[in-house]
Amino acid sequence: MTGRDINPIIPGFAPDPSITFINGKFFLVTSSFHLFPGLPLYVSDDAISWKHFGNAINKKSQLSLLKSRTRIIREANEQDPLLATGGLYAPTIRHRSGVTYITCTNAIHEEGESHPKFENFVISTTNVFGGNWSDPVYFDFHGIDPDIFFDDDGRTYIAGSSYVRGLPWITKIAIDCFEIDLQSGTKLTDQKEIWEGYSKVVPEGPHLYKRGGWYYLLAAEGGTTEGHRITISRSRSIWGPYESYEKNPLLDVCDPTGYIQHTGHGDLFQDLDGQWHLVCLGVRKKQGCYPMGRETFIAPVVWHEGGWPLVDPIVLNPGVLPKPTLCNSSVGTPLVCDAEAGRVYIRDSDLSRFQFSDAGQTIVIDPLPASFAEYTQPIAFVGARQRSMVGKATVLLSDQSLRSPVDLESGLAY
């Protein structure tokens, strides 16, 4: 064990985690919104020490992020606008019969339109490490955060956060479910509302589990900031009615002044011993702000057969950790990132404009007319996720890059 804290297990822009177990290893995917490549993939032997090894959306031919932009929806006041992020929301990763699937939403903001468009899809691969994910298979669902659930009888279901009309503050949002054919994206049943949530405030990020004859429905509620929480319900039928846990919320922030805040949007999983755990998002509050954004945390879970899961509060060092799949697993080692997999671009960038050498330490960028503030046109930007609360980043501009017949803007952005 190293001297570092266990949590967050994936530091720095790793929101909405979903996790699965494949051939002796844990795999985890998170949201990526308007960044390309999208849907970063992590692998671990112990669910504590992770490696970012690839991205599920790694070819521009898979989908377009051109219109997956961030825009101002309304302004509470001039200093505090409300922003709507576009792009890839809240994926779910699951595995069945040698095939790994990811479901996700691409949120699109058309120019001049007041309402977002949601493109929901599933991608698949038979080799997670190979990087050869399929093109998206789209399915009809007006909402976000689709979960994929494989039932015992071989049927497959999608449960997602359904938007009945309009924008979040004037829309009825509930968890809907339908059976699906994954190969074609065809709905095999009508779509049905199965739960409004515990608080009925923006229920999203659903995940279905079946245990002891019960269907358990996990959800995030309350928005993504101070009111964020995890709730749960259950039913004897996948179609409901779902009984809300009398001690909801399952996970909440008890101390509003604490270091870890906004915990929610989780996924339950088991280790090799059958012990349950939860991964979820959270933020670290430092001097009144959240410099690392939303990160991935872990907590132990006690879940007795026939009962409700009990989740420990999110702390820096949980008392119970998952059992490693390897005896020599280095529990607590820092996140490892593949340099190429970790590079990020904004929306549909022209990657031919970027040339890398010296193991990625030297970058030649062919500039574009659009400024860094442009939100509709491609811009010449390449970046990386900040993975440490304390650190230093520098860039050296060559003399040649400073000599140009036209005005140029270049440098380091944070």
Q: How far apart are CA 152 and CA 137, in angstroms?
A: 23
Side chain identity at residue 134, one-letter code: S
Residue 346 to residues 105, 144, 367, 380, Cα–Cα distance (Å): 17, 21, 14, 8
> Pick the catalytic residue: 204, 221, 267, 295?
204
Q: How far apart are CA 34 and CA 362, in angstroms?
A: 25
Query: How does DSSP assign 14-76, residue by residue?
Result: --S-EEEEETTEEEEE---BTEESEEEEEEESSSSS-EEEEEEE--TTT---TT---EEEEES
Residue that the structure tokens 């924008």 belong to = 167
Q: How far apart are CA 235 and CA 157, in angstroms?
A: 15
Sheet of 383-384, strands arranged across = 35-36, 343-346, 383-384
CA 30, distance to chain mean position in Å, is 3
Tell me if 348 sits within 8 A of 378, measured CB to CB. Answer: yes
Q: How many other β-carbons are positioned within 10 Å of the β-carbon of residue 129? A: 12
Q: How many other β-carbons are positioned within 10 Å of the β-carbon of residue 193? A: 14
CA angle 268, 281, 304 (to 5 degrees): 25
> Pick the catalytic residue: 16, 45, 176, 221?
16
Return the DSSP state at 313. Answer: P
Tell me if 104 sits within 8 A of 118, measured CB to CB. Answer: no
Which residues pair with residue 138 across a beta bridge? 121
Q: Is 204 a catalytic residue?
A: yes
Residue 118 to residues 77, 105, 144, 163, 239, Cα–Cα distance (Å): 28, 6, 7, 10, 24
Beta-carbon contacts of 145 under 8 Å, excluding residues fewer than 6 positions away, are: 16, 89, 90, 92, 105, 160, 161, 204, 205, 206
Tell me if 84 sits within 8 A of 116, measured CB to CB. Answer: yes
What long-range pairs does 353-356 form, CB within 8 A, spacing at least 24? 353/380, 354/380, 354/382
- Give the active site residues: 16, 204
